[in-house]
Structure 1
C-alpha cells in the first residue's frame, strides 16, 4: 500500500550544528506522522552536549540511535561502516536511507552495495560542495559523488544556491532533484522583544573567521558608540578577543559564550550575520522569525531567505559596507522594522518544518521499494 508507514534511517556523521538541527526536526516530524525513524551517527559523538541532544531525540527514534566509526576525512571506518549500515538496514527492514552531509551521503549509498533493499536519498548540506574542485580532497570527493549518482534515488538541496554549486562542481545530476528549504517550528515564530540592557547588535554563531567575525569587529569600530553582543565559541575566539582589545572595543563588545539563539536574541536590537560563506543558515531564519531586524551578507542561500528584501544584503568581507548597514539601522529604525515585517511574511509562508517534512515525505514515498 502506498500509504503504509515508512521505515527510515537518517545517517550523518556529527550530531551538531544546523545539519543535526535539520535531522532532529525531520525525525520528530516523521514520527508524528506515524513513520518509524532511526539515526546513525559517529561513535565519537559522545561529549555531554551531544549526548543530551541524542537522548532528547531518542523517544522519537523508534528504530533507535546507532553508532559506527565515521572518520572526518578518510579512515578504516569508510570501509567497515557502509557494510554495517547495510546490515542494520536489513535487520530493521528499512525502506529509506537518507544520508546528510558528505559522509552520511556516502554511507547511505554505499550501503546499497551490501544488498540492503532500501532506497537512498541524499542532502549535501554543504558537505562535498565545500571542497574546491582543484584541491586533492575535492577531486576525490567529487569523483566518489559522481560514482554514487547511480545509487541515488533523489538529491534534496536545502537551497537553490546549493543546487547550482553542485551542478558546477559535480555535474548535472542524473537523478531526481528537489530544493526543499529548511523549516522552523511554530514556537519559533513567537516574537522576542529586546531586554532593557540589550546591545544595538547581536551575533550568534561560531567564533571563526568564516563567520565574518573580524569584519564585524572592524565595522563596529567605524560606528561610534554602537554596542555588540557576540554569542558563541570557536577556534578564533582568542584572536577575536585580541582584535577587540586592539581596536579599543572591550567596553562595547560582550562575549557571553555559547548559548541557544533564542536565549541570546533579547540581548540585541538587530541581528548581524556577516558570514563569508554559508549554505542556508538557520540563524537568519530564527532571527527573522523572532521579529528581529537582520543585517546579513549576500552569500549562499541567504538571498532565498531574504526574498523580497534581498536587495538589503551586503557584500561579504566588506567592513565599510557592514558599518554602513549598521549606521542605517541606528539612523532609520522604522525602515528596518518595515523590512523585518516583509521578510517575516516571506519566511512564514515558505520555511516551516511542516512544509519541509511534507515535501521530503513525498520523495520518500516516490522512492520507496515495492
Structure 2
C-alpha cells in the first residue's frame, strides 16, 4: 500500500520497557505504518529483556525494516541518561529518520534530547501516563515535570491517548506550548469478532493485574451479595496474577465466596472472555484501558468504573459507569446485568458499535500519520 502524503516516512519509535498497553500501542502503530509503506524502527531498553519480551519483539520484527535497537535505559534518571540521547541522535542520523516518536517518560525524554531541530524532521511525544504518574510533591516528580516544561520547545507535537490524559498533563505540568492532539488508542479488525462464552462460563470475569489499584477487593465485596437468575449465588472467574493475589484469595474465603470464585492465573484476554458472561473492570484508576475496549469489541456486557478515559470509551453510555471504590453501586450493576440480560445484551451491542467506529487501529494511525506529515511541513 502506498504511503499517505505521497512519500514514505522513516520513523523511529522510542520507548523503554516493551510491556503493557504502551508496547501494545507502539506495536499496533508500527505494524499499521509499515502496512502503509513507511519504514519503522524501534528503540527499547536492553535491561528490560526476558524470553517473553524477545518473543514479542520477534513477532514485530517483520514490520520493523529499520531494525530493533537496544540501549540501556533504567526507569529512574541517572548518568546513562546523558549518553543515550547522544547514541540515539547518532542512530537517527545514520538511519536518516524523518520522525522521532518518544513514548512514555523515558522514551519521550531521550527522543527529544536526541533530536536536532530541522525543518524536514519531526519529534513527537506520547506520555502514556508516564510522567503523569509522578507526584507533584516528590523530588523526582518535580524534576520530571520541570524537564517536561523545558522539553516542550524541542517537541513538534504531543499526542495524548485520551482527553483525560491531556487534562491531567495540563494540571500537573501546564498547557502545552507546542501543538497537542488527542488520538485514542485503537483495536485491530480481528478483535471485533464476537466471542461466545463457554457453556460453563461464570456469571462474571475479571481480567487484569491482581493489585488493589485494579479494585479487585471492591469487586469481591460487591460479588458476595450477587445471585444468579435462579436465585443461587453467582460465580466469578478471575484471570491474572500480581502482588496482592494472596490477599484477595484470603478475602474471598473471609467473605464465604471462595467456593464460587476461581483464581485461574494469568492468560490472554481473548481466551479469558470465553470464561465469563460479563466482564467487570472495577479499577480505582486508569488512563485508557485496552481491556475495556477489547471486551466491548468482543460483544460482551462490560461493567466498569468512572475513572480516567473510560467515559470516553463508553461515549453516550457513560452514565452507566460505576463510581470507583463503591462496592454497593457495583453490586447493583452486577445484579442488574443478571436480571436484565436482554437489556444488557442490547447495551453491549451498542457499545461494540461505538468502539468499532471510534477506536480502530486504522483511525488511530490515520491521525498520527497526519501529525507526522504536519510536523515536517507536509500536512
Say yes or no: TM over 0.5. Answer: yes
SS in 2 for 1:66: strand
Aligned length: 370
C-alpha separation between the residues in 1 aligned to 2:141 and 2:323? 26
C-alpha separation between the residues in 1 aligned to 2:81 and 2:325? 37
Ranges of 4+ aligned residues in structure 1 off by more than 6 Å: 114-117
Match among 278, 292, 304 for residue 312 of structure 2: 304
Q: Which runs of 5+ in 2 are unaligned?
A: 228-232
**Is the 1:265–1:287 Cα contact (8 Å) retained in structure 2?**
yes
SS in 2 for 1:156: strand
2:139 is the alignment partner of 1:136: yes
Query: What is the CA-CA distance between 1:369 and the residue it aligns to?
Result: 6.9
**Is the 2:119–2:376 Cα contact (8 Å) retained in structure 1?**
no
TM-score for the superposition, normalised by structure 2: 0.94
2:283 is the alignment partner of 1:280: no
C-alpha separation between the residues in 2 aligned to 1:220 and 1:113? 55
**Is the 1:82–1:111 Cα contact (8 Å) retained in structure 2?**
yes
C-alpha separation between the residues in 2 aligned to 1:255 and 1:190? 26
**Is the 1:87–1:114 Cα contact (8 Å) retained in structure 2?**
no
C-alpha separation between the residues in 2 aligned to 1:167 and 1:261? 33
2:264 is the alignment partner of 1:256: yes
C-alpha separation between the residues in 1 aligned to 2:292 and 2:211? 17
C-alpha separation between the residues in 1 aligned to 2:206 and 2:80? 37
2:329 is the alignment partner of 1:329: no
2:158 is the alignment partner of 1:150: no
Match among 32, 41, 44 for residue 44 of structure 2: 41
Query: What is the CA-CA distance between 1:135 and the residue it aligns to?
Result: 2.2
When structure 1 is superposed on structure 2, of 64-73 and 130-139 the one drifting more is 130-139
Correspondence for 2:199: 196
C-alpha separation between the residues in 2 aligned to 1:102 and 1:73? 10
Correspondence for 2:57: 54
Equivalent residues in 2 for 1:1-370, closer than 5 Å: 3-112=6-115, 118-224=121-227, 225-368=233-376
SS in 1 for 2:115: helix
**Is the 2:305–2:321 Cα contact (8 Å) retained in structure 1?**
yes
SS in 2 for 1:346: helix
When structure 1 is superposed on structure 2, of 165-174 and 134-143 the one drifting more is 134-143
> CA, structure 1 residues 302+350, in 2 after alignment: closer, same or farther (shift >3 Å)?
same
**Is the 1:94–1:117 Cα contact (8 Å) retained in structure 2?**
no
C-alpha separation between the residues in 1 aligned to 2:63 and 2:330? 42
**Superposed CA offset, 1:335-363 (max 9, x none):** 21121122112111111101100110010
